[in-house]
Amino acid sequence: KKNDIATPSRTKEILAQHGFMFKKSLGQNFIVERQILEQIVSAAELSDDVGVIEIGPGIGALTEQLAKRAGKVLAFEIDQRLVPVLAQTLAPYPNIQIIHQDILKADLQQLVEEHLGQFSRKSVVANLPYYITTPILMHLLEAKLDLEQIVVMIQKEVAERLAAEPGTKDYGSLSIAVQYFAEARIERIVPKSVFVPQPNVDSAVISLRLRDKPLVEVQDEDYFFRLIRASFAQRRKTLLNNLHTFIEGRMSKEELQAVLERIDIDGKRRGETLSIQEFAKLSDVLRALKA
């Protein structure tokens, strides 16, 4: 414990030894506080039968704690310079596989099957590079990996959007895209001071518990998500106006108004007040009318 990677002095020593310079463009902010790692790991509810996917191990601060609690860790790191660093810092742990690859380009299904196939439970645990938080989360949610949980540190404002309820200022198409697949919960807010170098923004640990099946059933998932994005396209416009733009003249405003009335949705409302269930109903009705 005394010699854990996640202390300011050990981190400094490792970085100096390898002459490592941070790349801001890769979102490199390393955790140097054990307590926060404990909280991330405990939110993930790990045990021997869990295979963990980590994105961006850095110098291995979180990876080390995961390896102690999980069956195996499969970690994706884009920065070639960190590969020899990780080989050294994580040498004591036989249950870690580092893959030098961009997570967004990785064939996740194949690699997870190959390296974590023997585990009945699988979760993602990571301190994400903030410049690609949303693409990574959507990549993970859509990859059909049979995940139990995604527990990640992300920018606080993004966490608030992911967990937002209808009718709040943070609620938007991202909230819906995530909550469709998972139950989102903010575990804790994290100050800048736990990182080296310190980021410009506050952070939060969020857990996304994957649902057995999506929150609502829709005829056409792709149409559903396009309709939702369109409903939030101009936040100050009414739902009716945003939808009218979306259907590109395939229906008049009056016809659209009548459809909305039929399913008890007031066209004067704004997109941000609709529940996921209302969007699902709207999506199925409009699609059936080829709008």
- Point out the annotated binding site for S-adenosyl-L-methionine: 29, 31, 56, 77, 102, 127
The reply on whether position 28 binds ligand SAM by CB under 6 A is yes
The reply on whether position 282 binds ligand SAM by CB under 6 A is no
Q: How far is the first Cα of the chain from the last one, in angstroms, to the nearest whole number?
A: 61
The reply on whether position 129 binds ligand SAM by CB under 6 A is yes
Q: What is the rounded CA–CA span in Å between residue 205 and residue 263?
A: 38
Cβ pair 162, 172 in contact under 8 A: no
Beta strands (DSSP E) in the chain are 30-31, 50-55, 72-77, 96-100, 121-127, 149-155, 182-190, 195-196, 203-210
Among 27, 71, 172, 267, binds ligand SAM (CB under 6 A): 27
Listed residue (58, 190, 177, 71) closest to 126, CA to CA: 58
Q: What is the rounded CA–CA span in Å between residue 43 and residue 140?
A: 18
Q: Given the complex with ligand SAM, which of 100 and 253 has the nearer CB atom?
A: 100
Task: With contacts defined by CB under 6 A, name the span among 57-65, 109-117, 183-191, 242-250 that binds ligand SAM.
Answer: 57-65
The reply on whether position 65 binds ligand SAM by CB under 6 A is no
The reply on whether position 14 binds ligand SAM by CB under 6 A is no
Q: Given the complex with ligand SAM, which of 198 and 234 has the nearer CB atom?
A: 198
CB of 137 to ligand SAM, least distance (A): 13
CB of 129 to ligand SAM, least distance (A): 4
Q: What is the rounded CA–CA span in Å between residue 96 and residue 48?
A: 13
Q: Given the complex with ligand SAM, which of 31 and 53 has the nearer CB atom?
A: 31
Listed residue (157, 146, 82, 79) closest to 116, CA to CA: 146
Q: Given the complex with ligand SAM, which of 37 and 227 has the nearer CB atom?
A: 37
Please state whether the peptide bond connecting residue 197 to the residue before it is cis, i.e. omega within 30 degrees of 0: yes
Residues engaged in binding ligand SAM (CB under 6 A): 26-31, 55-58, 61-62, 76-79, 82, 102-104, 127, 129, 132
